Amino acid sequence: MAKVVREELIRQLADGKFISGQHLAEQLSVSRTAISKHIKVLNEMGLDIFSVQGKGYKLAQSITLLDLHKITSELATFNRKNFVEVHSIIDSTNSYLMRRLPNNVAHGQACVSEFQSAGRGRRGKEWISPFGSHLYLSMYWYLEQGMSAAMGISLVVGLAVSDVLQQRYALDVQLKWPNDIYVNGKKLAGILVELEGQSIGPGNCVIGLGLNINMPKQSAEKIDQPWTDLATELGDEIDRNVLSAQLIARISERLEQHHQFGLTPMLDDWQRQDFFYNKQVKLLTGEKETRGVCKGINSSGALLLEIDGKQQPIYGGEVSLRGA
């Protein structure tokens, strides 16, 4: 019930105009006190709602909500027919699709949401997910060739995101192994790949993307690393419905290319944008620290780390790559 009330409150407030608490209470068949409590929760979710006596509640800025019809219409311009779900409030887009495995999800199915109450990054980190400010997108991909076909998928998706941002928005993007997207040395987006299946036979893959679009001040205070967002880099508003469709289409295309030809045809694309290529780096694995020079990636998606003149492949997992 609470979720339904909050979603309706958001719809009523989205245009940025004042609306009285009494009107909202009557519309939703709850008390004025209940409306006040729900508004407090929405503020905690990242919405900037204020109240003025005699006028009611108002969003500091109007927001354009995610719209399934707009996303699917835009997808059709790319000749894509991915099944898409749009959520207002969810725990995690990745978790949602993972719960639907294996029989209640279709190959290429995508899920986007306005807000995540339990957004996740790699190595169990929280992904800050304020309402309506960013893009939270997950896609299911069937691994016909088995779990080994998942090698390098986070790199493939990183390239797809880069394709969209460079070609559609003229944004100079850097890629950081194995799952981050940078602009001007600051993190813009992260990718989380989760797998399900046996070592033998086909497998299931859910790919999550969190992309910063317009970071609220109160959310920025929770982030412990340099970050940026599209609003800052482009100096303009972003249509999240159009961007969602562009990303779903291009991620699908890159994954199909990977299925057919593997990672090898994409190595040059990656190396041109490799944030750490030919730079001194350190790898953190638990308490262990290894230093060397980044020499790009190989056809299996492993990081090539040069130590004392010799290259050794480093595969993903609980590994963190930092500049030395």
DSSP per-residue letters across 104-168: S--TT-EEEEEEESS-B-GGG-B----TTTSEEEEEEEEETT-GGGGTTHHHHHHHHHHHHHHHH
Q: How far apart are CA 48 and CA 40, in angstroms?
A: 10
Classify strands 180-183 and 310-314 as parallel, antiparallel or unpaired.
unpaired
Cis? peptide before 216, omega within 30° of 0:
no
Q: Would you call 322 a catalytic residue per the annotation?
A: yes
DSSP 201: S
Distance (Å, whole) CA 293 – CA 182: 19
Say whether 186 is catalytic: no
Indicate the annotated binding residues for biotin.
92-94, 116, 120-122, 187
Q: Find out whether 143 and 117 touch, Cβ atoms under 8 Å.
A: no
Q: Kindly report the length of the chain.
A: 324
Distance CA 225, CA 121 (A): 14
Across 246-260, b (16+ Cβ under 10 Å) vs e yields: bbbbbbbebbebbee
Catalytic residue (choose from 99, 279, 291, 322): 322
Amino acid residing at 131 = F
Active site residue 3: no
C-alpha to C-alpha distance for 236 and 230, rounded to whole angstroms: 8
Active-site residue (options: 187, 240, 250, 254): 187
Residues 6+ away with beta carbon under 8 Å from 99: none
Of the listed 6, 58, 122, 176, which one is catalytic? 122
Which residues are marked as active site?
122, 187, 322
